């Protein structure tokens, strides 16, 4: 369980060993169905799932530096499992699923590293399932500095919580954008029909305020960092090194969690209590 870059700018640079667990498997014949691989934790829950189907594949997982964040090493894994006959090697990068981002090609945040421990690789092909146990070991240099498995378990738990909140905030921002676009279309149609749109504009303004509380203004050179940026920053800072997070990180996530919960409550109230009747009135002809 180590952290280093495997990127090469030129062919003359050294080629480093990929980061992760090497999982080798052999298929005597081409598999007509789907080949799947699950990584299972000590508690029996699936941490990652991979497949020979393109639709289930994930793109590379890296993070671009921002607000002082340290880059996460590139994802060395082959994201699609080969289903053809022969010998194959799959490298799991020892990471959980990354934060939900909407657009995998643009979002470069990687998933949190798993803590040291015992894991299981579960390969299913052609109706047969094969399992192998393996251990993820702490970096001995990190251990020599006094970092323990307990520290890394606490870090993993916090990273997963931040990841989930970040995904929820991003989904909420996308949801608000869709609602605003739909509502603005109705407002334009209602204005063209000379109908009252006063309340509709109030709701549109409230949705705009919610979106601005989540997303920093891209048109401002040094914008105030809003909730999603703050979660991304906290995520980058707490995933960038092997260590037990400080108390301030736990305090900060409580604050951001409460802020996000308030925003989502306001959004749900608008969607439940105001939009259905408002949309019906705006859609009324005449």
Half-sphere exposure of 284 (CA within 13 A, CB side): 11
Q: Does the pLDDT at position 223 exceed 90?
A: no
Q: What is the pLDDT of residues 230-281, one digit of tens each?
A: 999 999 999 999 999 999 999 999 999 999 999 999 999 999 999 999 999 8
Contacts of 264 (CB under 8 A, 6+ apart): 168, 172
Q: How many CB atoms lie within 10 A of CB 48?
A: 20
- The four Cα atoms 245, 250, 251, 255 give a dihedral, to 10 degrees, of 130
pLDDT band at 91, cuts 50/70/90? very high
Q: Over 60: is that where the pLDDT of 5 sits?
A: yes
Residues 201, 202, 208, 213, Cα dihedral to 10°: 180
For residue range 46-57, what is the model confidence (pLDDT) as tens digits? 999 999 986 444
Question: Which residue has better confidence, 127 or 61?
Answer: 127
The pTM of the full predicted model, rounded to 2 decimals, is 0.86
Rounded Cα–Cα distance for residues 198 and 190 (Å) = 11
User: What digits encode the pLDDT tens for the residues 103-150?
Assistant: 665 566 789 999 999 999 999 999 999 999 999 999 999 999 999 999
Which residues in the chain belong to E strands, given as ranges?
21-27, 36-40, 46-51, 86-92, 117-125, 128-136
Q: What burial letters (b/e) apply to 9-22, b meaning 16+ CB within 10 Å?
A: eeeeeeeeebbbbe
């Amino acid at each position: 369980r180590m952290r280093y870059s495997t990127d090469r700018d030129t062919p003359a640079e050294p080629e480093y060993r990929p980061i992760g667990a090497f999982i080798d498997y052999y298929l005597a014949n081409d598999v007509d169905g789907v080949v799947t691989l699950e990584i299972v934790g000590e508690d029996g829950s699936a941490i990652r799932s991979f497949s020979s189907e393109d639709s289930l594949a994930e793109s590379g997982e890296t993070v671009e530096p921002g607000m002082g964040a340290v880059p996460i090493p590139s994802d060395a894994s082959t994201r699609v499992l080969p289903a053809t006959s022969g010998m194959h090697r799959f490298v799991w990068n020892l990471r959980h699923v990354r934060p939900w981002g909407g657009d995998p090609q643009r979002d470069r945040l990687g998933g949190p590293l798993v803590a040291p421990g015992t894991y299981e690789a579960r390969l299913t092909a052609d109706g047969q399932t094969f399992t192998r146990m393996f251990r993820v070991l702490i970096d001995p240099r990190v251990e020599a500095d006094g970092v323990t498995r307990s520290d890394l378990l606490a870090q993993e738990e916090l990273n997963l919580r931040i990841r989930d909140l970040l995904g929820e905030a991003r989904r909420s921002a996308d949801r608000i954008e869709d609602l605003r676009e739909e509502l603005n279309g109705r407002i334009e149609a209602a204005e063209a029909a000379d109908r009252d749109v006063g309340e509709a504009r109030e709701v549109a303004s409230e949705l705009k305020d919610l979106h601005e509380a989540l997303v920093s203004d891209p048109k401002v050179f040094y914008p105030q960092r809003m909730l999603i940026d703050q979660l991304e920053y906290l995520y980058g800072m707490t995933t960038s090194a092997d260590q037990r997070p400080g108390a301030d990180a736990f305090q900060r996530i409580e604050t951001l969690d409460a802020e996000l919960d308030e925003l989502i409550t306001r959004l749900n109230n608008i969607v439940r209590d105001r939009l259905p009747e408002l949309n019906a009135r705006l859609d009324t002809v005449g």
